[in-house]
A and B are shown apart, each in its own frame.
Chain A
Amino acid sequence: MILSNEMNADKKMTPKRKKWFTRNDWTGYLFSAPLIIGVLAFAIYPMFAALFISFHQTSGLSLNGKWVGLSNYRYALEDPVFWQALTNTFLMGVLSVVLGIVLSFVLASLINNLKWNFGKNFFKAVYFLPNVVSAVATSLLFSFLFFPSKEGLLNFVLSWFGVHHPIGWFTNPEVSRYSIVLMSLWGALGYNTIIFLAGLQSVPRDLYEAAEVDGAGGYKKWLHITIPYLRPIFVFMLIMGTIGGMKRFTDVWLIGGTAGNPGGSLMTVVLYIYRNAFLASQMGLATAASYLLFIIILVLTAVMMLLNRRKDSLD
């Protein structure tokens, strides 16, 4: 009797094995089908197709190319232009991300401290405006602002401050990468600032009040409360900025052409991929370089996420 009761109790406690497709599930799958199909067709399939192509010699019109194994990867890795492109990309990416995050955080803090709501909205709009301008328009605009002769606006303004020798913003290989960073900062500052502003407004007021009771000033509150509290946002910006920076193409292509002029200083990895894919129809080599870039971005992202795994002391 006892045994039978126990068995009955066991039966009751063992959860029922869930059917794969209940009526409710069908409805759910039906609604998510367009998205799943879209992701499979436009994200998963191209990724695997590109991987497949990277082991082939093909112009990309079909998957049926000549199998060449790792030859395309070897060629890219032995190509000094690829390494030059990677160095340029990395340098411009690091500068853009670091300066972009620091400047936009400072800017967001300043805007957040404004007492006047109209002022807050005004500055948010002003700094966000460049973000809605296309990269093509920005590049054109800056190619005139940074015109390398004394007629260029920036050189003209600098001449008021005693810089009489015009700077070759986009024509001097020593300067051009920094000019691109300046240009991209102008474009991205607004977006980063808005994200930081949203974060700043979510910091609990009682933390500041408690700090004030302990006698903390504005700077100390900023350093010991605001910055640690916004750490997840910093990490998000760092990762997204790094991914964006490693994929730099439109601006350098519009300004430096396919050579990444001046002197190859604006040659980036995506420009290298573009040259091989669409100018030389070497889709195998281009996809191999794409996968190398993918691996680099993946490693960088993983490293950043690992470094951030340390539990936040505020919690």
Chain B
Amino acid sequence: MKKWLLLLLSCMLVFTLAACSEGSGKDVTGGVEIKQVSDMKGTVRVALAGWQLDNGINAQTGNSTIGLTEYMDKTFKKMYPNIKVELYQIPWENVKAKQTAMLMSGDADVLYTGGAFASQWYQDGLLRDLDDLIKEDTSFDPGIYLDGIMNNSYSTKSPDGTKQFGIPAVLGRRMTIYDKKLFSDWGVEGLTEKATPDEILEKAKKMTGKNPKTGEQNYGVYWSGNSLNGSTFVALTLAFGAKGAEGSLKDVKSIKWHLNTPEMVKVMEWLKEAAKLPPAGFITAQGAENFGLEKNNIAIALDSTGGATMNEFIANNNKELLDRFEPVMNMGPKGEGWVAVDPFVMAKNAKDVKASWEVLKFLTSPMTQKYTYENFAMTPTIKQADFVKPEDKYVKKALDIANVGHSELMDEANPFYMSDIVPAVNGFISKAASGNAPDTQQFLDELQDRAEKWSANLK
């Protein structure tokens, strides 16, 4: 009996393994026939922050997803049969330290990473300029990428803007989204296409309290109060014209700080007022779990992605929610905000530069961007993203925002911004939320003083 049971279990295991070891059988090329492009030889080691290599299931939509390994087998391997691509996946947690180690030890040729990390590595001389490769390669058209992120981002351009070291692959989505139902319940007119901070604050104040129709507690506005990159603060500095600093990241110690200007006071005063309106958990990035869904109680979400609504649409074809949650541009004068760009970059000491360039080019190509959008809802970085679902108004809006985007010194590529300004602003917000906001001018004077001391310590 035991033998039979063992045999049965073994058979089940073998069949399961056999079934799982097959490819997905899904088309990843959009029906395009893949032909050999070149017989170039080489080995390229690719270090990817956070990508999924194996086939799996999207936990939010329940749809099956094709891993990068199968995608590369079905596409790149046929195009370049003699280039061996070694893929290394690195979880986002502590990715900077791990990828830095790989760069220093010469264990990676091509990397996908966070924009701020790429910028830092470039300044440390660990990355290679791509200008010569772009110039030589007639098949590569840099014009297909959104101008705002290809030409005006610290994640892809050198601090002085003269050299290209990265090609944008994935875009961060940050836009203002409002709930039309709550606006209607309160009798408030919807947001304008380029809603200013003043408009947002004025309308948010009207919609904080007991909903006149449902009687439920509503909150006028929401943003993450402990955001790592302070994206809402960046959008506000753009809106109020508060530069914060002057100079170049190429020479960090010579940056002139302007953190206590009247414009910056306006930014902080706005935050002080607005901090009274979100749910209490916003200072630890909680409280907006239902935004974009049926039970939502927040009228306006800043720097939102629309992901929850879109997932509901993909999983359950819920068009009602799509109509209910409307995206508009971010708060900058042209509708711009802080735009995260994750690029592909090449190591300074890449072993096989030509083969590495072919891999880098392929992984940032429209075909790969279509694959990452369809499987992992990653936002593309190209102008003609015709594969984006017609209903996906959030990605379209993100592309519009990215197209007018530009990097300023209030950016995660700025070390003092990340280590001190963002935490200080987040601390200010949390104090304002509990009704103990410090005097704005004094807070900014102290921050200015701190910034000057920080710069002095570098000299």
Contacts and interface: CB of A to CB of B under 8 A. Distances in A.
A25 to B, nearest CB: 35
A149 B287 contact: yes
A133 B373 CA distance: 34
B224 to A, nearest CB: 9
Interface residues of B, number: 39
B225 interface: yes
A138 interface: no
B284 A280 contact: no
A282 B226 CA distance: 22
Interface in A261-315: 261-264, 267, 275-276, 278-282, 285
B226 A280 contact: no
B82 to A, nearest CB: 34
Interface in B418-459: 418-420, 422-427, 430-431, 433-434, 436, 453-454, 457-458
Contacts, number: 114
A278 B436 contact: no
A255 B287 CA distance: 13
Interface stretch (B22-30, B96-104, B378-386, B387-395): B96-104
A93 interface: no
Chain A contact surface mostly: loop
Given A61-B124, A71-B457, A257-B226, A280 B430 contact: no
A243 B284 CA distance: 27
B430 A263 contact: yes
Interface stretch (A11-19, A101-109, A170-178, A220-228): A170-178
B433 to A, nearest CB: 7
Interface residues on A, range: 35 or more
B284 A258 contact: no
A171 B415 contact: no
A258 B224 CA distance: 13
Interface in B172-201: none
Contact of B458 (A57, A143, A262): A57
Contact of A261 (B97, B420, B426): B426
A247 B427 CA distance: 22
A57 B425 CA distance: 26
A75 B457 contact: yes
B279 interface: yes
Given A259-B424, A261-B430, A264-B427, A171 B284 contact: yes
B422 A171 contact: no
Given A61-B124, A260-B423, A149 B430 contact: no
Interface of A: 57, 59, 61, 68, 71-72, 75, 78, 81, 143, 147-149, 166, 168, 170-173, 255-264, 267, 275-276, 278-282, 285
> Which 6 pairs, one residue from A and one from B, show the smallest C-beta to C-beta distance?
A257-B226, A280-B419, A259-B426, A280-B415, A259-B423, A279-B418
26 contacts: A59-B124, A61-B124, A61-B126, A75-B453, A148-B280, A149-B279, A149-B287, A170-B281, A171-B433, A171-B434, A173-B431, A173-B436, A256-B226, A257-B426, A258-B228, A258-B422, A258-B423, A259-B422, A259-B426, A261-B283, A263-B427, A264-B427, A267-B423, A275-B419, A278-B96, A280-B420
Given A149-B279, A173-B431, A261-B226, 20 more contacts: A72-B457, A148-B281, A149-B287, A166-B280, A170-B281, A171-B281, A171-B284, A171-B433, A173-B430, A173-B434, A258-B226, A259-B226, A261-B426, A263-B430, A264-B423, A267-B423, A275-B418, A275-B420, A281-B120, A282-B415
